[in-house]
Each structure stands twice: as C-alpha cells, then as structure tokens.
Amino acid sequence: MKAHRNASPLLDVFVEGIGRRALLLTSQFPFLYIGVILDAFDDMIKIDVETTHIEQLENRIWILHLGTVNSFYIEREGQPPIPKLNT
C-alpha cells in the first residue's frame, strides 16, 4: 500500500474505505463503477471494478481522479449493502 498523503477531507473518506465495496458515479465515461477500494492517494482512487454498465469494462482495476467523482456510497457495517448486479 502506498503512503497516503491526504490532500483533502474527501480523500480521507476513501482512505478509511480501503477494502470496502463502493459505488461511484462520475462525470466521465463509463459513469458508474461498483467495486472494492484498493487504495486512495494524492487525488486518486484505485478500485477493483466488478460492475459497470458496460460488461467489457468490468473485472479490471481502474484509477479514478477524485475530481471526477460526483456521488459515491461506501459500504459500512450496519448500513445497507450495495446490491450485486452481475450475478
């Protein structure tokens, strides 16, 4: 794991979410990512994507710029889980 240089309080949320499933909506194609957060550093999020709305882009590791994330949800204990969409 990389050393985390937290550039913003928002990045802290993703650092705390490492190892958890997340749903991210972005302003850039492919717009929707569901997967496990692998790392968060500088202004980037590394996610192991299990689901997008385009099957050919699934099961890959993506690195997203924090500035492209418009909305997100990170699973937490005691909170509703993100549904499995590709079963």
Strand partners, 25: 32, 71
Residue-level pLDDT at 1 = 46
Q: Which domain does 36 fall in, by range?
A: 9-74
CATH at residue 69:
2.30.30.100
Residue-level pLDDT at 86 = 67
Residue 70 lies in a domain: yes
Residue 80 lies in a domain: no
Instruction: State pTM to two decimals.
Output: 0.88
Residue 85 lies in a domain: no
Residue length, the chain? 87
Using the predicted structure, report yes or no on whether residue 7 has a pLDDT greater than 70: no
As a whole number of angstroms, the distance between CA 76 and CA 22 comes to 10
Stretch 3-16: mean pLDDT, rounded?
Answer: 78
Only one residue has tokens 């850039």, namely: 28
As a whole number of angstroms, the distance between CA 5 and CA 22 comes to 21
What total of structural domains would you count in the chain?
1
Instruction: Show the tokens assigned to 27.
Output: 């302003």
List, for residues 46-86, the tens digit of each pLDDT value.
999 999 988 899 999 999 999 999 999 999 999 999 998 86
Residue 58 lies in a domain: yes
Residue 62 lies in a domain: yes
Beta carbons of 77 and 17 less than 8 angstroms apart: no
Residue 23 lies in a domain: yes
